[in-house]
């Protein structure tokens, strides 16, 4: 079954690094995406904020090195945020890349 997402945007909020009881480092951050896309033959503005979770090394260190305002590209998969919030989705990063701001 496929569950793959690639999205770029501006880092708008970050959290401190924490370590799970199993010893896995985790950094969370929020990404603001804004673009223009074609839908039903018409151009529309797309804007959203998503939470990204970077688990393990080297992803947690890469995420920790980012600053608010940085432009980043994330590839990963969607999952619920935790067992209590079944309807809230987060992106679990598999790659984190820095990039140049795209103009919409």
Query: Residue 30 is part of a domain; what is its CATH number?
Result: 2.40.50.140
Q: Give me the number of domains the chain comprises.
A: 1
Asked if the structure places residue 83 within a domain, the reply is yes
Provide the pLDDT for residue 81.
79
* Of residues 83, 15, 84, 18, the one with CA closest to residue 55: 18
Per-residue pLDDT of the chain (104 residues; tens, 9 = 90+): 999 999 999 999 998 899 999 999 999 999 999 999 999 999 999 999 999 999 999 999 999 999 999 999 999 999 987 767 667 899 999 999 987 776 65
- Where in the sequence is the domain holding 45, given as residue range(s)? 5-98
Any domain includes 47:
yes
Return the pLDDT at 38.
Answer: 95
pLDDT at site 37? 95
The CA distance from 84 to 12, in Å, is 25
User: In the numeric block, which tokens belong to residue 89?
Assistant: 């989705």
Q: Is residue 36 part of a domain?
A: yes
**Is 93 within the bounds of a domain?**
yes
Structure-token pair, residue 43 = 């151009």
């Amino acid at each position: 079954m496929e569950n793959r997402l690639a999205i770029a945007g501006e880092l708008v909020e970050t959290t401190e690094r924490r370590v799970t009881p199993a010893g896995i480092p985790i950094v969370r951050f929020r990404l603001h995406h804004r673009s223009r896309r074609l839908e039903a033959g018409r151009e529309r503005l797309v804007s959203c904020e998503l939470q990204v979770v970077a688990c393990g090394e080297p992803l947690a260190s890469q995420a920790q090195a980012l600053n608010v305002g940085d432009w980043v590209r994330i590839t990963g998969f969607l999952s619920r945020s935790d067992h209590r919030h079944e309807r809230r989705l987060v992106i679990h990063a598999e790659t984190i890349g820095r990039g140049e701001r795209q103009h919409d």
